[in-house]
Amino acid sequence: MVVHSDPDPFGSGGSAGGHDSAPAAPAAPAVPAALGAAASLGILAPGFVPITSSSDPVPGPMSGGLAVASAAPGPTAAGLALPAALIEPLLRAWLAEDLGRGDLTAPALVGRMGRGSWVAKAEGVFCGGVLVEPLFRLLDPAVVVRRLVADGEPVRAGQRLLQLEGQAAALVAGERTALNLAMRLSGIATATAALVAELEGTGVRLADTRKTTPGLRVLEKYAVRCGGGVNHRLGLDDAAMLKENHLAWSGGIGPAIAAVRAAAPWPARVIVEAETEAEANAAVRAGADAVLLDEFSPEALHALVPRLRALAAERMAAGGSGAVVLEASGVRPEQLRAYGATGIDLISTSAPITRSAWLDLSMRFEPVLA
């Protein structure tokens, strides 16, 4: 079996992004449109000043990538990061969706400070903690968030995950949005971890797909990585995958690969989906960087994989491209171990994203502080 040292053979893993250092804050920042109506109605607590734009100074992780490595001690999904410039507009939109014209309960909390904690109500893998501080700081820039568990870390029922302290109106306003995101992402990470555990010791990695919720792709794929999986393509511009329809409409595997190679930047990878042994052989001979072997049985792959490796060695000896990445799809979870013994490199599945249940989390408030 060929085991690749690159954690993502298709180069689609997330990397930290960010923006330049922000200028000093203006004396009286305008309230952003997403929350402006609520402020004008007087139902946000005094001093409840939302951030006005992505260029405003925000203490903590919003000044760069939302890095997991800065989380609590213990096992972490080290090295994973979410680009703040991409995530902040999403957080703003999701807060605006829930707040509408403003939280009608806010007048009851004017001038009050609050403290609370998140608790896991079921066993699983936590994910989404990196979003909590930037989300609540859009509502209260002075909020304090202390993460007790890192994204990617296993949790047990009853375990405290993080603590928050800030304006009570802000904690209440952001509670549902923050929990919804974390429960969704934790469910994906938990489901991914269960499948990855089935492949332990095989050298085969579990990859996701582009079957993601519109608007949530970067976060759902982040959750897969927190669960121990690897990302396949984040989008159509990450690598060229020639599927059944491409091959039918382009004149076949050879012409399709040639057309893509002629137009794409030279580092771009070309992946071919094969449904038969003949298609898999043709893809390797035509120079595909990877072959997705769709709905082959474990028995068929045991025989086919060595032949494809030999074809790749022959093309390299003849001056062609090097080793080929072999990926299986259409795999049922109960067959993961069998497929892991076939010599393939990857198993791709949408199951952790499309079939996972949310991990139940709750926010427990402590008495209001004086």
- Reported as a single tens digit per residue, the pLDDT across 4-18 is 333 333 333 333 333
So what's the pLDDT on residue 8?
A: 36
- 211 as an active site residue: the answer is yes
For 172-194, the pLDDT digits (tens) are 999 999 999 999 999 999 999 99
In a domain, 218, yes or no: no
Residue whose tokens read 């492949």: 199
Residues 64 and 169 both lie in one domain = yes
234 lies in some domain: no
- Same domain for 116 and 246, yes or no, is no
Asked if 47 and 189 sit in the same domain, the reply is yes
Q: Tell me, yes or no, whether 120 and 253 share the same domain.
A: no
How many structural domains compose the chain?
A: 2
Q: Which of 273, 279, 289, 345 is catalytic?
A: 273
What's the confidence (pLDDT) of residue 80? 63
From 243, 261, 285, 309, the catalytic residue: 243
Both 336 and 360 in one domain: the answer is no
Is 255 inside a domain boundary?
yes
Known catalytic residue: 146? no
Structural domain boundaries enclosing 246: 239-349
Query: What is the structure's pLDDT at 82?
Result: 82
Q: Is residue 138 part of a domain?
A: yes
Query: Using one digit for the tens of pLDDT, what is the confidence trace for 304-349?
Result: 999 999 999 999 998 888 899 999 999 999 999 999 999 999 999 9
Q: Tell me: do 177 and 308 sit in the same domain.
A: no
Strand 160-167 and strand 113-120: the pairing is antiparallel
Give the pLDDT band (50/70/90) at residue 368.
low
pLDDT computed for residue 85 by the predictor: 87
pLDDT band at 81 (very low <50, low <70, confident <90, very high): confident
Of 133, 153, 208, 294, which residue is the catalytic one?
Answer: 294
Give the residue with greater pLDDT, 170 vs 85.
Answer: 170
Check which CATH number belongs to the domain holding 322 and give it: 3.20.20.70
Active site annotation includes 176:
yes
> Both 298 and 360 in a single domain?
no
| CATH classification at residue 39 | 3.90.1170.20
Instruction: Summarize pLDDT for 117-142 with one digit per residue, the tens.
Output: 999 999 999 999 999 999 999 999 99
Is 160 a residue of the active site?
no
Whether residue 62 lies inside any domain: the answer is yes
Catalytic-role residue among 121, 176, 307, 355 = 176
Whether residues 295 and 338 share a domain: the answer is: yes
Residue 210 included in any domain: no
Residue 188 and residue 63 in one domain:
yes
**Better pLDDT: 286 or 64:** 286
User: Is 184 inside a domain boundary?
Assistant: yes
Q: Is residue 262 part of a domain?
A: yes
269 sits in the region (left: phi over 0; alpha: psi -120 to 50; else beta) called beta
Same domain, 293 and 272: yes
- Percent of the chain predicted with pLDDT > 70: 77
168 shares its domain with 305: no
Q: Would residue 243 show up in a list of annotated catalytic residues for this protein?
A: yes
Q: Helix 168-198 to helix 217-226 angle, to the nearest 10 degrees?
A: 60
Whether the predicted pLDDT of 57 surpasses 80? no
Shared domain for 246 and 179, answered yes or no, is: no
Which of the four pLDDT bands, split at 50, 70 and 90, describes residue 257?
A: very high
Choice among 25-34, 223-232, 245-254 with the minimum mean pLDDT? 25-34
123-150: burial string, b at 16+ Cβ within 10 Å, e else: ebbbbbbbbbbbbbbbbbbebebebbbb
